[in-house]
Amino acid sequence: MQRVKPQIRKLRNSLAFNICALLSVALLLSWLVFQQIVQTKMAILNTAQSEKLLTAIALFNSELGSLRDILALLNSNSLLTENATLAYEEQRQQVQRYFADFGQAANHISQIRWINLSGQEMIRVDFSAHSTTIFAPSLLQNKSSRYYVTQGLKVEAPKVYLSPIDLNKEHGEVQRPFQITIRATLKTNQEQHLIQGVLVINYNLNSLFSDVRALSDEQVQLQIVNIDGFWLLHTSPEQEWGFMLEQPDHNISTANPGAWSLLHKDMVKMGKVINGELLSFNTIQLSKQYNVEGVTPKTSEIKAHNNKLFVLAISPPNILSNIHQQALLTSLVCGLVMASIGILVILRKYKFQQKLLALSEDIIKEKTDLDNLNTKLTSSLEQQQILQDSLVEAEKLSSLGMMVAGVAHELNTPLGGALMSVSSAQGTIQNLKNSIEQGLSKRTLDDSLMHIEEGLELANNNMTRAAGLVKSFKRMAIDRVSEESLEFHLQHLVQDIFLTLKPKFKTTKLTITHKIDPNILLNSRPGILSQVLENLIINAINHGFIENQSGQITLSAEQQDEQIVIKVTDTGCGISVDMREHIFEPFVTSARSKGNTGLGLYFVHQWITKILNGQLELHSEEGKGTEFVIYLPISFSSNDDKKEPECAKT
């Protein structure tokens, strides 16, 4: 019993330590869960703010873009141009009627005016929901003191000046109900227009502001603030238009100095927490402004150079508080669950010590099984490597067999012709002998000698042709086993390849041509290059065309600076997108059922990139043919340390 007590005390101490550690971990995990939930919900809130900001700015840009188009359309009418055949007053009345018709046809226009250089209204038409008012000359006002007139006169046509947004005023008083207005002006001149001055459109933005106000909800509230910090749009309408209603305290700089300071630092800001609120904002630049010299705006008007708006998306403090409360509750629940589960696990741990030993023995057994399986896998990989080497050797033998077949086929014709010529000459000699015994005439002698001479000449030509073929095939055979770089003409190499492949084309409806400058001289490895071109041509024959299909294979080359660009092009069926992605990988083929190994293009890629120091590109489209493009350096840089890949040596 005395021996058991220390073990029990030790187990109790271990239990207490494990529980304390578990509680610490649970507390840490709860904090991490809390942070993750807060970050996730804040990210969702940021996304909602961003979407509403983008929507509001899109509404503004669309409306302002329409306003510019409307003003340009208004100015495009020929009635605005001075007409020498009409009296001034008659033409002015025509323009008045045109303005009235135009404003009735266009939405949201509240006024159209034509103001001269001195600021005097020359033509004015007002529009309301139910009426159109054309002002008599005696009722026209002088607007020279208004900022949009002085600014508009400084902007040369065809540029359009957009004023700041404010409330429309008549005779110095703000109209009620409020008419949210932006003014667009376009300068007119004496040479092209009836009146020299500015065309002014008062555009009613009540509908736009209503649409933007409708975007607000409980989580995200939109506000619009001008450059002086006054609200044009607020969740509490009484806070709006403080600069027009002589309420200077209704200003964000007073209500929220932190947000006001942030607005002047950046054009755009997303997800900034200020005074418990989540704030995002973006900036709308209405138009480029110009300084006005010698003009002091009234305190109730906006300065003309302050033509910029801030669109704010604000989530109130209660939204952020709810997020933190929900995250805290969830994290506490997670912490309690994890702590409860952990304590149960710790308590059960002592009951399963023996079982853990048994499990350890099982793990050792499984490890042994895994080692055995790994050994089997290693053996399988070695067998796969042997199989791959065998396939490489088969590919080489196939190439050699094709060359031998080409030699036999091409030599058969000249050697057969030479044999026939020699046999004919022998027959002629025998006939000549018989004639000598029977009595030789001069004519018979001359005919026999001429026939023998023609036969020998024909035999000589055929033997010369056969010798040339043997020389060509010998050159290809030597080049393919040589590992040294040589200087050679590319056209000669291609002609030798065409001779080898000639029997292959006789069994198809395909034609092959080349377009190669005979002056292209390469210093490279001709044997490897000939194998590359031969494989590409055979690949086009086997895979590029269906059986008995007519087509064209073209091999072309040109020199570009210090490299040669070789193209092998066919007019066949092309390569599918899925196949193009893996075309240069080993054992990839679309005709495995026909005995193809899928190593041809893999070898081509390895030879070009690893041996010839070049590059290979593939251009193909289904139904429109295939093109392989090879880029090779003119001069091959030999490197003793650079060894030929095993696939090429096999």
pLDDT tens track for 176-189: 889 999 999 999 98
What is the rounded CA–CA span in Å between residue 270 and residue 281?
A: 6
Mean pLDDT of 46-52: 93
Residue 472 pLDDT level (bands cut at 50, 70, 90)? low
pLDDT per position as a tens digit, 506-517: 778 889 999 998
Long-range contacts of 593-596, Cβ-Cβ distance < 8 Å, separation of 24 or more: 594/542, 596/542
| 338-to-16, 18, 22, 27 alpha-carbon distances in Å | 17, 14, 9, 9
Spell out the residues 6+ positions from residue 570 whose beta carbon is closer than 8 angstroms to its own: 540, 544, 545, 551, 552, 553, 554, 625, 626, 627
The per-residue pLDDT for 1 is 47
What is the rounded CA–CA span in Å between residue 630 and residue 571?
A: 18
Residue 570 one-letter amino acid: D
pLDDT surpasses 50 at 374: yes
Mean pLDDT of 74-89: 84
pLDDT per position as a tens digit, 592-613: 556 565 677 888 888 898 888 8
Beta bridge partners of 273: 278
Residue 303 pLDDT level (bands cut at 50, 70, 90)? very low
Residue 126 one-letter amino acid: D
What is the rounded CA–CA span in Å between residue 420 and residue 576?
A: 52
Report the predicted TM-score, pTM, of the whole model to 2 decimal places.
0.49
Residue 473 pLDDT level (bands cut at 50, 70, 90)? low
Closest CA to 66 of 148, 155, 160, 179: 160
- What is the chain's percent helix, strand, coil content, to nearest 5? 55, 20, 25
Residue 13 pLDDT level (bands cut at 50, 70, 90)? confident
Biggest CA-to-CA distance, the chain: 147
Looking at the chain, the whole-number percentage of residues with pLDDT higher than 90 is: 31
Please, what is the Cα angle at 493 between 489 and 496, to 5 degrees?
Answer: 140
What is the rounded CA–CA span in Å between residue 292 and residue 305?
A: 8
Mean pLDDT of 482-494: 79
Q: What does the block give as tokens for 452?
A: 């023998």
Of residues 105 and 13, more confidence is placed in: 105
Of residues 534 and 451, more confidence is placed in: 534
Spell out the residues 6+ positions from residue 554 whose beta carbon is closer than 8 angstroms to its own: 512, 513, 514, 515, 567, 568, 569, 570
Q: What are phi and psi of 557, to 5 degrees?
A: -150, 145
Examine residue 137 and say whether the peptide bond preceding it is cis (omega within 30 degrees of 0).
no
Residue 241 pLDDT level (bands cut at 50, 70, 90)? very high
Beta bridge partners of 133: 126
What is the rounded CA–CA span in Å between residue 645 and residue 62?
A: 64
Mean pLDDT of 519-536: 87
Pairing of strands 510-516, 551-560: parallel
Q: What does the block give as tokens for 209?
A: 């502001």
- The packing angle between helices 353-438 and 526-543, to 10°, is 100
What is the rounded CA–CA span in Å between residue 84 and residue 86?
A: 6
pLDDT per position as a tens digit, 125-165: 999 878 899 999 999 999 988 888 998 898 888 888 998 99
pLDDT surpasses 80 at 352: no
Count of beta carbons in the 10 Å neighbourhood of residue 391: 17
| Mean pLDDT of the chain, nearest integer | 81
pLDDT surpasses 90 at 305: no
Q: What's the sign of the alpha-carbon dihedral 67, 70, 75, 80?
A: negative
The per-residue pLDDT for 282 is 92
Of residues 584 and 405, more confidence is placed in: 584
Spell out the residues 6+ positions from residue 207 whose beta carbon is closer than 8 angstroms to its own: 108
Mean pLDDT of 399-415: 61
Examine residue 158 and say whether the peptide bond preceding it is cis (omega within 30 degrees of 0).
yes
